[in-house]
Amino acid sequence: MLRSGENGCTDLKGGRQCAILDLDQGAVSQSDVSIAACDVKQEAAMVTNSDRLALRQDRIRQSPVMLRGGFRPFFLGAASWAVIVLLVWLGFLFRYVSPDLLANPIAWHRHEMVFGFAGAAMAGFALTAVPNWTGRLPIAGTPLAMLAAFWAAARILPFVGSWAANVGPFVDGAFYLALAAILGREIAQSRNRNIPVAAGIALFGFFAAIDGVAQAGLIGVTDLGWRGGYAVIIMMIGLIGGRIIPSFTHNWLAKHGLKGKLSAQTGRYDLILLALTGVALLAYLIAAESGAAGWLLMGAGLGHAIRLMGWQGWRAARDPLVAILHLGYFWLSLGVFLLGWSVLGGVPQVAALHALGAGAMATMILAVMSRATLGHTGRELRADGLTVASYILITIAAVARVLAGFSIGDPQFMLAVAGTGWIGAFGLFCIGYGPKLCAPRIDGRP
């Protein structure tokens, strides 16, 4: 049976599960804060929940608004960079930007979509989730500013000159490794079970550095970096999406008095599916043209489609904030299946990659950023007109880009539609959510 629990938890068939990030609640709540153990050697008094909460709130209040939570600079940075990258990329495609601006525009576009745009969203999510997981103080103020500066520097360096472009990969890798170290320390000290997320970010940083070094011509392995980045993102969507999507779907159904059973968030099937996906992606990284990799990926894609059906998203389709999560996961299942089919030579790989990139990656990022921003700025979880419009535009962009990959219709027209939809979707996020990210919480909490 399904029952709503506390702290974003849900009782599902197979056991009690908690969403990996309580997007429906504020960044700080009494239930988020765990009791700190006393220092036995010094015989200090035990810190109470309220003491810890007060310390946490004071630290946040002393920081500038944009540095009070990782979601603020990194969500706004991700959306802004998504717009900038596509404007520059369309400039190369339609020749209103000089080809001399960058040494390798295609490699730059690919790198920035994965490690610039998606990486920033991943950082914002993780920095927001860790305090909820652990009850420890959030990363705020100067440490957060330094992380954001690292990320921004890696984005700017390719435009400075060849020497700076060669330094950029190491800055990129250092950013993700520093982020992983900070998050890993917080998670480990609280003995939380989400250490794989920090490990995934560290691996993501390794692939970012590999991809950048390959762009600079320092190594001959040109595809491992970006393929590895894709693999990490796919696994993150599978892991995190598998926790938050059924939880939020159930919460919406319960709120509206709709009964029924949903699949458990992390049952045996889910664990087997995630393991299969990991093996399939590893095979793709090691031998991208092998038949085994192709069949494994296709099997994983079908497995994710079955998993999605178990969450019964059609029953909550009236809520755009829930429906868009299901749509993003649909793109994941389709993209993984198409990627496997492309390995077997059945479809163009460019179509599969954009089903994953413009489809799964962009849709899930937009969905999580909008929901998390509303919840963590003290606002009602309701999608306004701008939010719905951004969801529609990113869907149009994804469909058009995949169709262009299949050479359906006029390729130039489809690329223009896809680019315009992408810029419109993330531009609307900047317009609608930028002021929210730059302003204090409306409920007066830090």
Residue 60: pLDDT band (50, 70, 90) is: confident
- Whole-number pLDDT of residue 381: 94
Residue 56: pLDDT band (50, 70, 90) is: low
CATH number for the domain that contains residue 145: 1.20.210
Report the alpha-carbon distance of residue 90 to residue 390 in Å, rounded. 19
Residue 12: pLDDT band (50, 70, 90) is: very low
Counting DSSP H helices and E strands in the chain, the numbers are 15, 3
Domain-embedded: residue 256: yes
Residue 361: pLDDT band (50, 70, 90) is: very high
- Whole-number pLDDT of residue 398: 98
Residue 224 DSSP label? H
- Whole-number pLDDT of residue 52: 62
Residue 25: pLDDT band (50, 70, 90) is: low
Q: Do 299 and 272 contact (CB within 8 A), yes or no?
A: no
Q: Do 127 and 139 contact (CB within 8 A), yes or no?
A: yes
- Whole-number pLDDT of residue 50: 64
Of the two residues 50 and 376, the one the predictor is more confident about is: 376
Domain-embedded: residue 446: no
One-letter amino acid at 15 equals G
- Whole-number pLDDT of residue 42: 40
> Which pLDDT tens digit goes with each residue over 125-182?
999 988 888 877 778 888 999 999 999 999 998 888 777 777 877 888 899 999 999 9
Length, in residues, of the chain: 446
Report the alpha-carbon distance of residue 7 to residue 272 in Å, rounded. 27
Please check the confidence at residue 91 and state whether its pLDDT lies above 50: yes
Report the alpha-carbon distance of residue 94 to residue 17 in Å, rounded. 49
Domain-embedded: residue 443: no
Least confident of 26-35, 132-141, 241-250, 375-384: 26-35
Domain-embedded: residue 445: no
Report the alpha-carbon distance of residue 309 to residue 306 in Å, rounded. 5
Domain-embedded: residue 197: yes
- Whole-number pLDDT of residue 180: 94
Q: How many CB atoms lie within 10 A of CB 440?
A: 14
Domain-embedded: residue 444: no
Domain-embedded: residue 53: yes
Question: For the CA atoms of the chain, what is the radius of gyration?
Answer: 21
Specify the 3-state DSSP secondary structure of 443. Answer: coil
Task: Name 11's bridge partners.
Answer: 3, 16
- Nearest Cα neighbor of 129 from 9, 21, 238, 248 is 21
- The overall average pLDDT reported for the chain is 86
Please check the confidence at residue 193 and state whether its pLDDT lies above 80: no
Structural domain count of the chain = 1
> Which pLDDT tens digit goes with each residue over 390-427?
999 999 999 999 999 999 989 899 999 999 999 999 99
Domain-embedded: residue 192: yes
Q: Which two tokens stand for residue 221?
A: 């392995």
Least confident of 33-42, 169-178, 253-262, 409-418: 33-42
Residue 20: pLDDT band (50, 70, 90) is: very low
Residue-range definition of the domain harbouring residue 213: 3-438
| pTM of the model as a whole | 0.86
Least confident of 53-62, 81-90, 376-385: 53-62
> Which of 23-32, 75-84, 437-446 holds the top average pLDDT?
75-84
Least confident of 51-65, 73-87, 94-108, 414-428: 51-65
Report the alpha-carbon distance of residue 446 to residue 441 in Å, rounded. 7
Q: How many CB atoms lie within 10 A of CB 326?
A: 21
Q: Which residues contact 422 (CB under 8 A, 6 or more apart)?
A: 82, 86, 358, 362, 393, 394, 397
Q: For residue 53, with 0-12 CB atoms within 10 Å meaning exposed, 13-18 middle and 19 or more buried, which class applies?
A: middle
Please check the confidence at residue 16 and state whether its pLDDT lies above 70: no
Please check the confidence at residue 6 and state whether its pLDDT lies above 50: no
Q: How far is CA 419 from the centre of its chain?
A: 20
Of the two residues 215 and 337, the one the predictor is more confident about is: 337
> Which pLDDT tens digit goes with each residue over 198-251?
999 999 999 999 998 887 777 777 789 999 999 999 999 999 999 999 999 999
One-letter amino acid at 438 equals C
Q: How far is CA 18 from the centre of its chain?
A: 18
Q: Which two tokens stand for residue 439?
A: 């302003």
**CB neighbour burial string for 8-22, b if at least 16 within 10 angstroms, e if fewer:** bbbebeeeebbbbbb
Specify the 3-state DSSP secondary structure of 297. Answer: helix
